[in-house]
A and B are shown apart, each in its own frame.
Chain A
Amino acid sequence: MNTLILDPTQDPAQDISMRTVGEHKPAPTPSAFRRDVDADGICRLTFDAPGSGVNVFNEDTLRELDSQLDAIESDTAIRALIIRSGKERVFVAGADLKAIRALPPTKLEAFIELGQSVFSRLAALPVPKIAVIHGACVGGGLELTLACDHRIASDADCTRLGLPEVQLGLIPGWGGSTRLPRMIGLQKALGLILTGKLLKPEQARKLGVVDQVVPREHLEAVAQKWCKPLACTGRRAFKPTACTTLPILRHLIAWKAKRDLIAKTRGVYAAPLMALKVATHGLGMSVRESLRFEREALLALTKTGEAAHLIDLFFRKEEAAKKPPSKGHAQPVLHAAVVGAGVMGAGIAQWLASHGVQTLMTDVSTDAIAKGLSRVSSLLDEGTKRRAMTKKEARESLDRISTATIRVPLHQHQLVIEAATESFELKKKIFADLANRCPPDTILATNTSALSVTELAKSVRNPERVIGIHFFNPVHRMPLVEIITHAGNTPDVIATAVVFAQRIGKVPVVVKDSPGFVVNRILMPYLLEAVRMFESGTPADGIDDAMLDFGMPMGPLRLLDEIGLDVAVHVGQTLVAAFPDRLPKTGLLDRMVAQGKLGRKSGEGFYRHENGKPQGAATSSRRSGHKNPSLLEVQTQLALLISTEARRCLDEGVASSADDIDLAMVLGTGYAPFRGGPLAWLRNFEQTTVH
């Protein structure tokens, strides 16, 4: 779940994923499709699902499309078909995931088959079919257009095309895995299907996914030009290519794609491997056979826990990222100040500025500001290189950041985020100063990762406005923000923090103030146990490999090197003070810190780091006769530690639900998403071990 699934609507109230299954039951009338045939015999079929901001395919809409095709087939006056959407920002957002989830397995196969047959029927219509795409065209939406002869996309910002199914543990099953490789070639198709990435219109045109990109206002006129008989325009679909005719070439491409995939994911995800197989082998079959293969593969995937967990997480993430808080009135935050221009402060300032917030970054010295601005600039540089933003956006972000080393007025700012060094005394001083300088309703937030927000609030007038907004490092990469509340917070303050996090594109999870909050607290026993294992003789790369195979994005010891061993010791101390008996005992970290081995930043930790890259793993010299535990033993022991601590958090009410904890761990630490999170894993583990 590293790539974002496109937001189908801007308005959460309009988003079907925000609704419960029960609510979503489209009435048989009014119709989701509108059909107009003009004097020239051009039929315009407009998908406009009633009562919703998005178009999705469920059984009802598919059947309706089917009956529309009936009518079109029997109308001999029709000489061309234009398919378009009646929605403002969405073409078709794919299949209705909520409806799919509610389907019993027996009905699921019929549902997949229905989609395939309707799209195949569309593809077989003898008239030219033109898809006019404006807004999100993803999953089943894109598959619908693949069954057309031509695709024209608007150049609007909201237009995005892609097949994100693998991110949900599925594969494109309505002809996407069959038609896309035939249309744009296997290599390019795999680039889309295996990553699930979404394309901007111009990228889609370059890949051959769409024929033309035009301004939205010109879509209609351009579509009409394509309405000539297929013989004139030259039908694009399914010309035999070297790939379809030469099995060796096909398998060479597939072999390379698989190698890259394994290198990236260690093969722990079933869906991309399955997609690769279907797309490659499908090319050697007839379209009909390939569709059957696609269907069977998709059905098999839906039965795995992977898809269920990934879809679950998708919904939870969407909800956390968009749903307005149930209580309190959120105040808009247009101006924010960040106190501290260190790694976190600069990272936060960059993120806020890039998301439209006028940001003041303060620190005590001009040197600190210069370093902070250098960091902001290099983050923006990196962003433009990755094409996550344009040069113009980077410049605008930089322009939104102002700096100060003196005490400047703060009455413009609705929110101040303190990101100073982790010292309680220092933070107390900063908060006392801020409280005196800001209006009484300015929210004073701390980005502390370990100190008590409750204690900090006590040192300030109007303590109800003190809250924790905990970003994770690196800020631009980690989607999670822990909103740390204390008993004195008002609902308005919490709501403001939550909505603020949502507005800047982060996923907030509200937690109660308690040592380590959720993520660090759950992570720490796991990290320390890994250190203890290493101390007792298990090699570092052995431990890390085991957890990589478990599905973690990084092994625990590598992670410690990245965090910095000194930081880990500091967080560890806070937790040991709070829960003295609970953490694995090891003095190794302290000894390593004393030796100056701090991890990546000092060049040596559990690994040697050169030029910021880990070179070789250190080996523990102790207990040469030590018998290395098996891969599975390491995995189980470490995973259990995470899950037990997660359960304690839940029992103590630190987070409001198991789902919140699972989401926080997946988004805050990259905990294997296909396992659903530590509590989902624990449920699964207990079931399999008991029975």
Chain B
Amino acid sequence: MKTLFFIDGVRTPFCKMGTTLASMDAVELGRSAIAALLTKTGIDPAVIDETLFGCVGQPADAQNIARVIALRAGIPAAKPAMTVHRNCASGLEAITTAHQRMAAGQGDVFVVGGTESMSNMPLLFSRAAAMKFAALSTARGTGARVAAMSRFRVQDFMPLIGLRLGLTDPVSEMNMGDTAELLAREFGISREAQDAFAARSHLRATQAAWALEREIIPVYAGGVHRSTISADNGIRSDSSMDKLAKLKPMFDTRTGSVTAGNSSQITDGAVALLVASEEAVALHGWKPIGRLVDHAFTGCDPARMGLGPVQAINAVLHRTGSRLDELDVIEINEAFAAQVLAVLKCLKDPASARRAGLDEPLGEIDDHRLNPCGGAIALGHPVGATGARLVLTALRQLHDTDKKRALISMCVGGGQGAAAILEAL
């Protein structure tokens, strides 16, 4: 396949749900990211062939959000835009879709990325209530209207929480947290191990805060009183095993081990990257920062979606003929500490590997190569944006440390895994 080059990338700060970015919706976040990318690169928006953006909880008032964002960021109306959705891997899907488009000769320059405002996930009416509203709207005459109104009950006005629905797998009918609990039980991942991994994430992110800030473009939230937001706000520099141990399990409240502290944070944020073909790079005289070597998406049991990276990593290594120990930076998205630890176990331990469907283990990932700047437990996981954030963070780290190759991987709600190999240029 032809190579896809990364020209540049930016992201908004990642901020916890309901905090500083809550006033901006997913459109506004995405628009800020693309506008900043265009400003930073100084490219003529007319050279962009298509905008591909990931977003998991697409706002009801911005269907095909990629198109809305592209137009509002000043990309010409004649250039198409498409929203992609592969749950937690949507931001990565935008990049791989661009790669395939480009390889198929359908465009040379793409703006890709992802956006998510988890603060703005909607509250919904139940289906039963919606039917009653529909009946009311078609009722003719006062009597019929009164009758239609009288059918409403108090519970009809109890909203369904869009965020909770989104984080529940409809096939296994398990909440994402419950799938993590399942892995913790099956692979014997202790509460202590999970908390230690969470504390590590915060520690790494704290140490790398200055480096992370170089991925970030400042965002000015608010109307007539703007405030500057230029740093991620989920990182706890004072995180410790003791503090994490105090938290109660969130999903299996009696005997479970998955807490808010050892899970990824619910966060707002957006990422935008400029990617292009070799021809476009030569034509415009751009200096790419890296290239996408290859990628793989694989499926797994939805109830054990957290194991997704195992098969995906296996697939991408096979496709590229590489070995795990050849990779300098490895980013595995921290949906849950339990899930990442289960993946690591499956990669190195023969018995676990077989349970995850591998013939033999792929190898051990030593600590200094894994999520060197922390992960979603500290930085947060704006679901539609994270895939692109991993690519941006990995490329930046390769440049900062003068290294060559990175692997990024993530589990995907619904039972999938995603993995990609990047190379710095």
Contact = CB atoms under 8 A, between A and B. Distances in A.
B170 interface: no
B226 A408 contact: no
Contact of B228 (A367, A377, A381): A367
Interface in A399-427: 399-400, 402-406, 408-412
Nearest 4 A/B pairs, CB to CB: A409-B42, A378-B224, A366-B228, A370-B226
A374 interface: yes
Contacts of A373: 220, 226
A374 B224 CA distance: 4
B40 interface: yes
B38 interface: yes
Interface string A115-128: 00000000000000
Given A358-B74, A367-B228, A405 B218 contact: yes
Given A360-B39, A408-B42, A412-B44, A403 B224 contact: no
Contacts of B226: 370-371, 373-374, 377
Nearest to A362: B39
B74 A400 contact: yes
A563 to B, nearest CB: 24
Contact of B220 (A358, A403, A412): A403
Q: How large is the interface on B (under 10, 10 to 19, 20 to 34, 35 or more residues)?
A: 20 to 34
A402 B38 contact: yes
Given A399-B72, A402-B35, A374 B225 contact: yes
B272 to A, nearest CB: 13
A377 B223 CA distance: 6
Contacts of A411: 42
Contacts of A403: 39, 220
Contacts of A405: 218
Contacts of A358: 74
Given A411-B42, A412-B42, A370 B35 contact: no
Nearest to A381: B224
12 contacts: A366-B218, A366-B228, A371-B226, A377-B223, A377-B226, A399-B35, A400-B74, A402-B36, A408-B39, A408-B40, A409-B41, A410-B42
Contacts, number: 53
Contacts of A406: 40
A374 B222 CA distance: 8
Contacts of B224: 374, 377-378, 381
A370 B225 CA distance: 8
A369 interface: yes
Given A374-B225, A377-B224, A403-B39, 19 more contacts: A358-B74, A366-B228, A366-B230, A369-B218, A369-B220, A370-B227, A371-B226, A374-B222, A377-B226, A381-B224, A399-B31, A400-B74, A402-B38, A402-B74, A408-B39, A408-B42, A409-B42, A411-B42, A412-B44
B13 to A, nearest CB: 12
A434 to B, nearest CB: 14
A43 to B, nearest CB: 44
A412 B39 CA distance: 10
A360 B220 CA distance: 15
Contacts of B40: 404, 406, 408
B111 interface: no
B216 to A, nearest CB: 11
Contacts of A381: 223-224
Given A360-B39, A402-B35, A412-B44, A370 B74 contact: no
B244 interface: no
A410 B226 CA distance: 25
Interface of B: 31, 35-36, 38-42, 44, 72-74, 218, 220, 222-228, 230
Contacts of A367: 228
A370 B74 CA distance: 21
B39 A404 contact: yes
Tier of interface size on chain A:
20 to 34
A400 B71 CA distance: 11
Nearest to B73: A399
B403 to A, nearest CB: 25
Taking each of B31, B220, B225, which has the highest tally of chain A beta carbons within 10 Å of its own beta carbon?
Answer: B220
A378 to B, nearest CB: 4
Contacts of B230: 366
Contacts of A370: 220, 226-228
A221 B305 CA distance: 64
Interface in A84-125: none
A358 B330 CA distance: 40
Interface string A348-376: 00000000001010000011011101100
Contact of A369 (B42, B73, B228): B228
Interface in A304-335: none
A369 B220 CA distance: 8
B233 to A, nearest CB: 16
B413 to A, nearest CB: 32
Given A366-B230, A370-B228, A374-B224, A402 B39 contact: yes
A438 to B, nearest CB: 11
Contacts of B225: 374
Task: Pick from B36, B38, B40, B228 the residue with the most CB of A within 10 Å.
Answer: B228
A400 B73 CA distance: 8
B168 to A, nearest CB: 35
Nearest to A375: B224
A456 to B, nearest CB: 25
A561 B152 CA distance: 63
Nearest to A404: B39
Nearest to B42: A409
A468 B222 CA distance: 34
Interface string A332-353: 0000000000000000000000
A349 to B, nearest CB: 13
A360 B39 CA distance: 8
B122 to A, nearest CB: 21
Contacts of A402: 35-36, 38-39, 74
A399 B218 CA distance: 16
A429 to B, nearest CB: 22
B131 to A, nearest CB: 34
A382 to B, nearest CB: 9
Contacts of A410: 42
Nearest to B34: A402
A496 B182 CA distance: 69
A374 B221 CA distance: 10
Interface string A202-216: 000000000000000
Contacts of B42: 408-412
A409 B8 CA distance: 13
Contacts of A408: 39-40, 42
Contacts of B222: 374
